[in-house]
A = this chain, B = another copy of it.
Protein backbone atom coordinates (compact mmCIF):
# COMPACT_ATOMS: atom_id res chain seq x y z
CA UNK A 1 0.00 0.00 0.00
CA UNK A 2 1.67 3.26 -1.08
CA UNK A 3 1.74 6.22 1.27
CA UNK A 4 -1.21 8.56 0.67
CA UNK A 5 -0.34 11.68 -1.28
CA UNK A 6 -0.39 15.07 0.34
CA UNK A 7 -3.64 15.75 -1.45
CA UNK A 8 -5.30 12.66 0.04
CA UNK A 9 -4.25 13.15 3.66
CA UNK A 10 -6.71 14.21 6.37
CA UNK A 11 -7.08 17.93 7.00
CA UNK A 12 -6.41 19.10 10.56
CA UNK A 13 -9.43 20.83 12.10
CA UNK A 14 -9.29 24.60 12.55
CA UNK A 15 -10.15 24.36 16.24
CA UNK A 16 -7.31 21.91 16.76
CA UNK A 17 -4.45 23.76 15.06
CA UNK A 18 -5.24 26.69 12.79
CA UNK A 19 -1.71 26.87 11.37
CA UNK A 20 -1.64 23.21 10.40
CA UNK A 21 -5.17 23.47 9.02
CA UNK A 22 -3.97 26.23 6.67
CA UNK A 23 -1.06 24.14 5.45
CA UNK A 24 -3.26 21.07 5.06
CA UNK A 25 -5.86 22.96 3.00
CA UNK A 26 -3.12 24.12 0.63
CA UNK A 27 -1.71 20.60 0.27
CA UNK A 28 -5.15 19.00 -0.20
CA UNK A 29 -6.09 21.48 -2.93
CA UNK A 30 -2.61 21.27 -4.49
CA UNK A 31 -2.24 25.04 -4.44
CA UNK A 32 1.45 25.31 -3.59
CA UNK A 33 4.43 23.39 -2.37
CA UNK A 34 7.62 24.18 -0.50
CA UNK A 35 10.60 24.35 -2.82
CA UNK A 36 14.15 23.32 -2.08
CA UNK A 37 15.12 27.00 -2.27
CA UNK A 38 15.01 28.52 1.20
CA UNK A 39 11.78 30.46 1.78
CA UNK A 40 10.61 30.18 -1.84
CA UNK A 41 7.46 28.33 -2.82
CA UNK A 42 6.24 26.64 -5.94
CA UNK A 43 2.79 27.80 -7.00
CA UNK A 44 1.07 24.74 -8.42
CA UNK A 45 -1.43 24.95 -11.30
CA UNK A 46 -4.57 25.22 -9.17
CA UNK A 47 -3.01 27.93 -6.98
CA UNK A 48 -1.62 29.75 -10.00
CA UNK A 49 -5.02 29.69 -11.68
CA UNK A 50 -6.40 31.58 -8.67
CA UNK A 51 -3.62 34.14 -9.06
CA UNK A 52 -4.43 34.45 -12.76
CA UNK A 53 -8.09 35.10 -11.89
CA UNK A 54 -6.96 37.79 -9.44
CA UNK A 55 -4.67 39.30 -12.07
CA UNK A 56 -7.35 39.35 -14.75
CA UNK A 57 -9.89 41.17 -12.58
CA UNK A 58 -7.46 43.59 -10.96
CA UNK A 59 -5.55 44.36 -14.15
CA UNK A 60 -8.81 45.47 -15.72
CA UNK A 61 -9.51 47.79 -12.78
CA UNK A 62 -5.98 49.20 -12.89
CA UNK A 63 -6.24 49.91 -16.61
CA UNK A 64 -9.73 51.39 -16.26
CA UNK A 65 -8.31 53.94 -13.85
CA UNK A 66 -5.86 55.05 -16.56
CA UNK A 67 -2.70 53.11 -15.73
CA UNK A 68 -0.48 51.37 -18.25
CA UNK A 69 1.62 48.27 -17.68
CA UNK A 70 5.37 48.31 -18.26
CA UNK A 71 8.40 46.29 -17.19
CA UNK A 72 11.59 47.39 -15.44
CA UNK A 73 14.80 45.48 -14.63
CA UNK A 74 14.94 42.82 -11.90
CA UNK A 75 18.29 44.17 -10.70
CA UNK A 76 18.92 47.42 -8.85
CA UNK A 77 22.46 48.80 -8.61
CA UNK A 78 23.48 49.20 -4.97
CA UNK A 79 24.05 52.94 -5.39
CA UNK A 80 20.43 53.46 -6.53
CA UNK A 81 18.96 51.75 -3.50
CA UNK A 82 21.07 54.00 -1.31
CA UNK A 83 19.75 57.25 -2.71
CA UNK A 84 16.69 57.49 -0.46
CA UNK A 85 17.85 57.16 3.14
CA UNK A 86 14.79 55.66 4.80
CA UNK A 87 14.17 53.37 1.87
CA UNK A 88 17.61 51.74 1.93
CA UNK A 89 17.40 51.36 5.69
CA UNK A 90 14.08 49.57 5.37
CA UNK A 91 14.94 47.30 2.48
CA UNK A 92 18.69 46.70 2.04
CA UNK A 93 19.01 44.29 5.01
CA UNK A 94 16.33 42.06 3.45
CA UNK A 95 17.71 41.81 -0.05
CA UNK A 96 19.31 39.08 -2.12
CA UNK A 97 22.53 40.40 -3.63
CA UNK A 98 24.12 39.44 -6.95
CA UNK A 99 27.88 39.83 -6.75
CA UNK A 100 28.93 37.80 -9.81
CA UNK A 101 27.74 37.81 -13.41
CA UNK A 102 29.05 36.04 -16.48
CA UNK A 103 31.77 34.38 -14.41
CA UNK A 104 33.20 37.64 -13.09
CA UNK A 105 32.92 39.63 -9.92
CA UNK A 106 30.81 42.72 -10.58
CA UNK A 107 32.20 46.18 -9.96
CA UNK A 108 28.96 47.19 -8.29
CA UNK A 109 26.68 44.73 -6.50
CA UNK A 110 23.16 44.32 -7.91
CA UNK A 111 20.22 43.93 -5.55
CA UNK A 112 17.34 41.74 -6.63
CA UNK A 113 14.39 44.18 -6.50
CA UNK A 114 12.51 44.12 -3.21
CA UNK A 115 10.28 46.83 -4.76
CA UNK A 116 11.00 49.05 -7.76
CA UNK A 117 10.84 52.70 -6.69
CA UNK A 118 14.54 53.33 -7.22
CA UNK A 119 14.93 51.71 -10.64
CA UNK A 120 11.66 53.11 -11.96
CA UNK A 121 12.20 56.67 -10.83
CA UNK A 122 15.59 56.78 -12.50
CA UNK A 123 13.65 56.30 -15.74
CA UNK A 124 10.87 58.69 -14.71
CA UNK A 125 13.54 61.38 -14.40
CA UNK A 126 14.43 60.78 -18.04
CA UNK A 127 10.87 60.59 -19.37
CA UNK A 128 9.28 63.47 -17.49
CA UNK A 129 10.16 66.92 -18.78
CA UNK A 130 7.07 69.10 -18.65
CA UNK A 131 3.66 69.29 -17.00
CA UNK A 132 2.32 67.77 -20.23
CA UNK A 133 3.99 64.47 -19.27
CA UNK A 134 2.00 64.34 -16.04
CA UNK A 135 0.39 62.44 -14.51
CA UNK A 136 2.57 59.44 -15.40
CA UNK A 137 0.60 56.35 -14.39
CA UNK A 138 2.57 53.07 -14.55
CA UNK A 139 1.91 49.58 -13.24
CA UNK A 140 4.15 46.52 -13.27
CA UNK A 141 3.37 42.82 -12.70
CA UNK A 142 6.55 41.18 -11.45
CA UNK A 143 8.37 38.97 -8.98
CA UNK A 144 10.18 40.55 -6.04
CA UNK A 145 12.49 39.14 -3.37
CA UNK A 146 12.66 39.98 0.33
CA UNK A 147 14.77 37.81 2.57
CA UNK A 148 12.31 36.68 5.25
CA UNK A 149 13.39 34.58 8.23
CA UNK A 150 10.04 32.96 8.93
CA UNK A 151 8.06 32.10 5.87
CA UNK A 152 4.59 30.72 5.23
CA UNK A 153 3.08 29.61 1.92
CA UNK A 154 1.52 32.60 0.11
CA UNK A 155 1.47 34.81 3.23
CA UNK A 156 5.19 35.44 3.57
CA UNK A 157 7.73 34.04 1.13
CA UNK A 158 11.18 35.23 0.09
CA UNK A 159 10.08 35.54 -3.51
CA UNK A 160 6.55 36.58 -4.31
CA UNK A 161 4.54 37.83 -7.26
CA UNK A 162 2.82 41.17 -7.18
CA UNK A 163 1.77 44.27 -9.02
CA UNK A 164 3.31 47.60 -8.13
CA UNK A 165 1.80 50.85 -9.32
CA UNK A 166 4.02 53.92 -9.54
CA UNK A 167 2.76 57.36 -10.44
CA UNK A 168 4.02 60.94 -10.70
CA UNK A 169 1.89 64.05 -10.39
CA UNK A 170 2.17 67.82 -10.56
CA UNK A 171 0.68 68.50 -7.12
CA UNK A 172 0.63 66.97 -3.65
CA UNK A 173 -3.16 66.98 -3.64
CA UNK A 174 -3.40 65.04 -6.87
CA UNK A 175 -0.85 62.46 -5.71
CA UNK A 176 -2.55 61.96 -2.37
CA UNK A 177 -5.91 61.59 -4.14
CA UNK A 178 -4.33 58.93 -6.39
CA UNK A 179 -2.98 56.98 -3.40
CA UNK A 180 -6.42 57.09 -1.79
CA UNK A 181 -8.14 56.13 -5.03
CA UNK A 182 -6.00 53.02 -5.47
CA UNK A 183 -6.61 52.05 -1.86
CA UNK A 184 -10.27 52.29 -2.80
CA UNK A 185 -9.74 50.12 -5.87
CA UNK A 186 -8.13 47.50 -3.62
CA UNK A 187 -11.05 47.67 -1.25
CA UNK A 188 -13.56 47.23 -4.06
CA UNK A 189 -11.54 44.33 -5.43
CA UNK A 190 -11.28 42.62 -2.01
CA UNK A 191 -14.97 43.00 -1.30
CA UNK A 192 -16.47 42.35 -4.72
CA UNK A 193 -14.15 39.63 -6.00
CA UNK A 194 -12.53 38.06 -2.95
CA UNK A 195 -15.73 38.38 -0.87
CA UNK A 196 -13.44 39.71 1.83
CA UNK A 197 -14.71 42.65 3.89
CA UNK A 198 -11.84 44.98 4.73
CA UNK A 199 -11.18 48.05 6.82
CA UNK A 200 -9.40 50.75 4.84
CA UNK A 201 -7.53 53.70 6.27
CA UNK A 202 -4.10 55.01 7.25
CA UNK A 203 -1.13 53.35 8.89
CA UNK A 204 0.78 54.84 11.81
CA UNK A 205 4.27 56.25 11.26
CA UNK A 206 5.83 53.06 12.63
CA UNK A 207 4.00 50.86 10.14
CA UNK A 208 4.60 53.16 7.16
CA UNK A 209 6.41 52.09 3.98
CA UNK A 210 10.09 53.00 4.08
CA UNK A 211 10.25 56.32 2.24
CA UNK A 212 6.54 57.23 2.28
CA UNK A 213 4.79 60.24 3.79
CA UNK A 214 1.55 58.32 4.36
CA UNK A 215 0.62 54.69 3.88
CA UNK A 216 -2.98 53.67 3.26
CA UNK A 217 -4.04 50.04 3.51
CA UNK A 218 -6.81 47.51 3.52
CA UNK A 219 -6.95 45.06 6.44
CA UNK A 220 -8.99 41.88 6.58
CA UNK A 221 -9.78 39.70 9.60
CA UNK A 222 -9.15 35.99 9.29
CA UNK A 223 -11.19 33.22 10.94
CA UNK A 224 -8.75 32.96 13.86
CA UNK A 225 -9.20 36.64 14.67
CA UNK A 226 -5.84 37.71 13.30
CA UNK A 227 -5.62 40.65 10.93
CA UNK A 228 -4.06 40.39 7.50
CA UNK A 229 -2.81 43.36 5.50
CA UNK A 230 -4.12 42.73 2.01
CA UNK A 231 -2.88 45.80 0.13
CA UNK A 232 -1.06 49.08 0.65
CA UNK A 233 -0.97 52.41 -1.16
CA UNK A 234 1.63 55.07 -0.41
CA UNK A 235 1.72 58.81 -0.83
CA UNK A 236 5.46 59.32 -1.28
CA UNK A 237 5.49 63.10 -1.23
CA UNK A 238 8.64 64.39 -2.96
CA UNK A 239 11.05 62.09 -1.10
CA UNK A 240 11.98 59.98 -4.10
CA UNK A 241 11.56 62.82 -6.59
CA UNK A 242 14.29 64.71 -4.74
CA UNK A 243 16.52 61.65 -4.35
CA UNK A 244 16.20 60.79 -8.07
CA UNK A 245 15.84 64.31 -9.38
CA UNK A 246 12.46 63.79 -11.04
CA UNK A 247 11.57 67.33 -12.11
CA UNK A 248 9.17 68.95 -14.53
CA UNK A 249 8.58 72.34 -16.05
CA UNK A 250 5.35 73.77 -14.66
CA UNK A 251 2.79 75.60 -16.78
CA UNK A 252 4.28 78.91 -15.70
CA UNK A 253 7.80 77.84 -16.62
CA UNK A 254 9.20 76.94 -13.20
CA UNK A 255 11.11 73.75 -12.47
CA UNK A 256 9.53 71.61 -9.73
CA UNK A 257 9.85 68.13 -8.28
CA UNK A 258 6.97 65.74 -8.97
CA UNK A 259 4.74 64.23 -6.26
CA UNK A 260 4.53 60.47 -6.26
CA UNK A 261 2.63 57.39 -5.18
CA UNK A 262 3.22 53.65 -5.17
CA UNK A 263 0.81 50.82 -4.36
CA UNK A 264 0.74 47.05 -4.50
CA UNK A 265 -0.90 43.74 -3.78
CA UNK A 266 0.73 40.33 -4.00
CA UNK A 267 0.25 36.56 -4.05
CA UNK A 268 -0.44 37.06 -0.35
CA UNK A 269 -4.03 37.67 -1.50
CA UNK A 270 -4.26 33.96 -2.33
CA UNK A 271 -3.39 33.22 1.31
CA UNK A 272 -6.04 35.68 2.47
CA UNK A 273 -8.60 34.03 0.21
CA UNK A 274 -7.80 30.58 1.62
CA UNK A 275 -7.93 31.75 5.23
CA UNK A 276 -11.05 33.87 4.89
CA UNK A 277 -13.46 31.27 3.55
CA UNK A 278 -12.17 27.70 3.82
CA UNK A 279 -13.48 25.13 6.31
CA UNK A 280 -12.50 21.82 7.87
CA UNK A 281 -13.31 20.00 4.63
CA UNK A 282 -10.81 22.08 2.66
CA UNK A 283 -10.69 25.03 0.32
CA UNK A 284 -13.70 27.30 -0.24
CA UNK A 285 -13.46 29.85 -3.04
CA UNK A 286 -15.70 32.72 -4.10
CA UNK A 287 -17.16 32.00 -7.56
CA UNK A 288 -15.68 35.14 -9.14
CA UNK A 289 -12.12 33.93 -8.50
CA UNK A 290 -12.62 30.17 -8.68
CA UNK A 291 -10.61 28.62 -11.55
CA UNK A 292 -13.43 26.06 -11.84
CA UNK A 293 -16.73 27.62 -10.67
CA UNK A 294 -18.84 24.52 -11.38
CA UNK A 295 -18.04 20.79 -11.48
CA UNK A 296 -20.66 18.53 -13.02
CA UNK A 297 -20.50 14.91 -11.89
CA UNK A 298 -22.48 12.40 -13.97
CA UNK A 299 -23.32 9.24 -12.04
CA UNK A 300 -23.56 5.95 -13.88
CA UNK A 301 -23.45 2.20 -13.75
CA UNK A 302 -22.95 0.58 -17.11
CA UNK A 303 -22.63 2.04 -20.58
CA UNK A 304 -26.19 3.11 -21.16
CA UNK A 305 -26.39 5.19 -17.99
CA UNK A 306 -22.96 6.55 -18.68
CA UNK A 307 -24.02 7.74 -22.10
CA UNK A 308 -27.21 9.35 -20.81
CA UNK A 309 -25.80 11.13 -17.75
CA UNK A 310 -22.60 12.21 -19.44
CA UNK A 311 -24.67 13.52 -22.34
CA UNK A 312 -26.80 15.58 -19.96
CA UNK A 313 -23.66 16.83 -18.16
CA UNK A 314 -22.02 17.98 -21.40
CA UNK A 315 -25.24 19.57 -22.50
CA UNK A 316 -25.49 21.59 -19.28
CA UNK A 317 -21.80 22.55 -19.49
CA UNK A 318 -22.32 23.82 -23.02
CA UNK A 319 -25.32 25.89 -21.97
CA UNK A 320 -23.43 27.33 -19.02
CA UNK A 321 -20.49 28.34 -21.21
CA UNK A 322 -22.99 29.93 -23.56
CA UNK A 323 -24.45 31.83 -20.62
CA UNK A 324 -21.01 33.19 -19.68
CA UNK A 325 -20.01 30.69 -16.97
CA UNK A 326 -16.52 29.72 -18.10
CA UNK A 327 -14.31 26.75 -17.23
CA UNK A 328 -17.11 24.42 -16.19
CA UNK A 329 -15.67 20.97 -15.53
CA UNK A 330 -17.46 17.76 -16.50
CA UNK A 331 -15.93 15.01 -14.39
CA UNK A 332 -15.93 12.03 -16.74
CA UNK A 333 -13.09 10.19 -15.01
CA UNK A 334 -13.38 6.42 -15.21
CA UNK A 335 -12.61 4.13 -12.31
CA UNK A 336 -13.44 6.72 -9.66
CA UNK A 337 -16.64 6.53 -7.61
CA UNK A 338 -18.91 9.60 -7.41
CA UNK A 339 -18.09 9.98 -3.71
CA UNK A 340 -14.40 10.23 -4.48
CA UNK A 341 -15.13 12.85 -7.11
CA UNK A 342 -17.24 14.91 -4.69
CA UNK A 343 -14.42 14.72 -2.16
CA UNK A 344 -11.92 15.89 -4.76
CA UNK A 345 -13.93 18.95 -5.87
CA UNK A 346 -14.77 19.88 -2.30
CA UNK A 347 -11.11 19.97 -1.34
CA UNK A 348 -10.33 22.06 -4.37
CA UNK A 349 -12.93 24.63 -3.39
CA UNK A 350 -15.21 24.38 -6.42
CA UNK A 351 -18.16 26.61 -5.38
CA UNK A 352 -20.94 24.54 -6.92
CA UNK A 353 -21.26 20.84 -7.72
CA UNK A 354 -23.95 19.53 -10.02
CA UNK A 355 -24.83 15.84 -9.73
CA UNK A 356 -26.68 14.12 -12.55
CA UNK A 357 -27.67 10.49 -11.95
CA UNK A 358 -30.19 8.17 -13.62
CA UNK A 359 -32.83 9.08 -11.02
CA UNK A 360 -32.29 12.76 -11.74
CA UNK A 361 -32.66 12.11 -15.45
CA UNK A 362 -35.90 10.23 -14.80
CA UNK A 363 -37.23 13.26 -12.95
CA UNK A 364 -35.79 15.70 -15.52
CA UNK A 365 -33.79 17.37 -12.80
CA UNK A 366 -30.23 18.09 -11.70
CA UNK A 367 -28.96 18.17 -8.12
CA UNK A 368 -27.12 21.32 -7.03
CA UNK A 369 -24.74 21.19 -4.07
CA UNK A 370 -23.22 24.34 -2.59
CA UNK A 371 -19.66 24.08 -1.35
CA UNK A 372 -20.04 26.90 1.18
CA UNK A 373 -23.11 25.62 3.06
CA UNK A 374 -23.33 22.02 1.84
CA UNK A 375 -26.99 22.71 0.95
CA UNK A 376 -28.35 20.33 -1.66
CA UNK A 377 -31.31 21.25 -3.86
CA UNK A 378 -32.83 19.79 -7.01
CA UNK A 379 -33.60 22.01 -9.98
CA UNK A 380 -35.65 21.21 -13.09
CA UNK A 381 -33.14 20.38 -15.83
CA UNK A 382 -34.56 23.09 -18.07
CA UNK A 383 -33.87 25.70 -15.41
CA UNK A 384 -30.38 24.32 -14.70
CA UNK A 385 -28.29 27.08 -16.32
CA UNK A 386 -30.31 29.90 -14.78
CA UNK A 387 -30.31 28.28 -11.34
CA UNK A 388 -26.56 27.68 -11.48
CA UNK A 389 -25.92 31.32 -12.30
CA UNK A 390 -28.24 32.51 -9.56
CA UNK A 391 -26.63 30.16 -7.04
CA UNK A 392 -23.12 31.35 -7.96
CA UNK A 393 -24.23 34.90 -7.21
CA UNK A 394 -25.78 33.75 -3.94
CA UNK A 395 -22.60 31.95 -2.93
CA UNK A 396 -20.47 35.00 -3.74
CA UNK A 397 -22.75 37.14 -1.60
CA UNK A 398 -23.10 34.50 1.10
CA UNK A 399 -19.34 34.24 1.56
CA UNK A 400 -19.02 37.99 1.90
CA UNK A 401 -21.88 38.18 4.40
CA UNK A 402 -20.47 35.31 6.45
CA UNK A 403 -17.01 36.87 6.52
CA UNK A 404 -18.50 40.24 7.41
CA UNK A 405 -20.58 38.81 10.27
CA UNK A 406 -17.44 37.15 11.58
CA UNK A 407 -15.44 40.34 11.25
CA UNK A 408 -18.12 42.44 12.94
CA UNK A 409 -18.48 39.89 15.74
CA UNK A 410 -14.73 40.12 16.33
CA UNK A 411 -14.42 43.88 16.27
CA UNK A 412 -14.37 45.30 19.78
CA UNK A 413 -13.92 48.57 21.51
CA UNK A 414 -12.49 49.14 24.95
CA UNK A 415 -11.08 52.04 26.95
CA UNK A 416 -9.14 50.06 29.56
CA UNK A 417 -5.72 48.68 28.80
CA UNK A 418 -5.92 45.75 31.22
CA UNK A 419 -9.26 44.80 29.70
CA UNK A 420 -7.71 44.93 26.22
CA UNK A 421 -4.70 42.82 27.31
CA UNK A 422 -6.96 40.16 28.74
CA UNK A 423 -9.52 40.11 25.95
CA UNK A 424 -7.11 39.96 23.03
CA UNK A 425 -5.92 36.65 24.46
CA UNK A 426 -9.42 35.24 24.83
CA UNK A 427 -11.09 36.79 21.81
CA UNK A 428 -8.61 37.82 19.12
CA UNK A 429 -9.94 40.41 16.71
CA UNK A 430 -9.85 44.09 15.90
CA UNK A 431 -9.74 46.34 18.97
CA UNK A 432 -10.68 49.95 18.43
CA UNK A 433 -8.56 51.86 20.94
CA UNK A 434 -7.96 55.49 21.72
CA UNK A 435 -4.34 56.23 21.00
CA UNK A 436 -2.42 59.43 21.70
CA UNK A 437 -0.37 59.09 18.49
CA UNK A 438 2.99 58.47 20.16
CA UNK A 439 5.32 55.80 18.81
CA UNK A 440 6.24 54.97 22.37
CA UNK A 441 2.72 53.87 23.36
CA UNK A 442 2.36 51.96 20.09
CA UNK A 443 5.65 50.11 20.67
CA UNK A 444 4.76 49.25 24.26
CA UNK A 445 1.37 47.90 23.23
CA UNK A 446 3.09 45.74 20.62
CA UNK A 447 5.67 44.54 23.11
CA UNK A 448 3.11 43.68 25.77
CA UNK A 449 0.26 42.27 23.65
CA UNK A 450 1.82 41.34 20.28
CA UNK A 451 -0.91 43.50 18.79
CA UNK A 452 0.08 46.10 16.20
CA UNK A 453 -1.72 49.17 14.98
CA UNK A 454 -3.34 47.88 11.81
CA UNK A 455 -5.29 50.85 10.56
CA UNK A 456 -6.92 54.15 11.41
CA UNK A 457 -10.17 53.73 9.44
CA UNK A 458 -11.27 56.23 6.81
CA UNK A 459 -14.91 55.78 7.63
CA UNK A 460 -15.02 56.46 11.33
CA UNK A 461 -15.39 59.68 13.30
CA UNK A 462 -13.05 61.30 15.79
CA UNK A 463 -13.75 60.02 19.29
CA UNK A 464 -11.51 62.03 21.64
CA UNK A 465 -10.59 60.78 25.10
CA UNK A 466 -7.64 59.46 27.07
CA UNK A 467 -5.03 57.22 25.34
CA UNK A 468 -5.62 53.61 26.33
CA UNK A 469 -1.94 53.26 27.19
CA UNK A 470 -0.67 56.50 28.70
CA UNK A 471 -3.89 58.39 29.47
CA UNK A 472 -2.78 61.50 27.56
CA UNK A 473 -5.26 63.15 25.27
CA UNK A 474 -6.08 61.13 22.11
CA UNK A 475 -7.79 63.73 19.95
CA UNK A 476 -8.51 61.74 16.80
CA UNK A 477 -10.18 58.57 15.63
CA UNK A 478 -9.83 55.26 17.38
CA UNK A 479 -7.08 53.08 15.90
CA UNK A 480 -7.62 49.39 15.14
CA UNK A 481 -5.14 47.11 16.91
CA UNK A 482 -4.86 43.37 16.29
CA UNK A 483 -2.42 40.53 16.16
CA UNK A 484 -1.54 40.02 12.53
CA UNK A 485 -0.07 37.79 9.87
Contacts and interface: CB of A to CB of B under 8 A. Distances in A.
Interface of A: 2, 5, 33, 35-38, 40-45, 48-49, 51-52, 68-77, 80, 93-103, 110, 112, 119, 122-123, 126, 129, 138, 142-143, 145, 147, 149, 158-159, 161
Contact of A159 (B40, B42, B74, B159): B74
Contact of A36 (B48, B77, B112): B77
B35 A119 contact: yes
Contacts of A52: 69
A73 B40 contact: yes
Which has the most chain B C-beta neighbours within 10 Å: A73, A142, A158, A159? A73
Copies in the complex: 2
B102 A99 contact: no
Contacts of A161: 71
A222 to B, nearest CB: 24
Given A52-B69, A99-B99, A142-B143, A42 B93 contact: no
Contact of A102 (B143, B147, B159): B147
Which has the most chain B C-beta neighbours within 10 Å: A75, A77, A99, A110? A75
B42 A123 contact: yes
Contacts of A94: 102
The 4 A-B pairs of least Cβ separation, nearest first, read: A102-B147, A45-B68, A40-B73, A43-B71
Contact of A75 (B2, B96, B123, B126): B96
A97 B101 contact: yes
Contacts of A37: 73, 75-77, 110, 119
Contacts of A122: 35-36
A123 B35 contact: yes
A51 B5 CA distance: 39
Contacts of A96: 75, 98, 100-102, 110
A147 B2 CA distance: 45
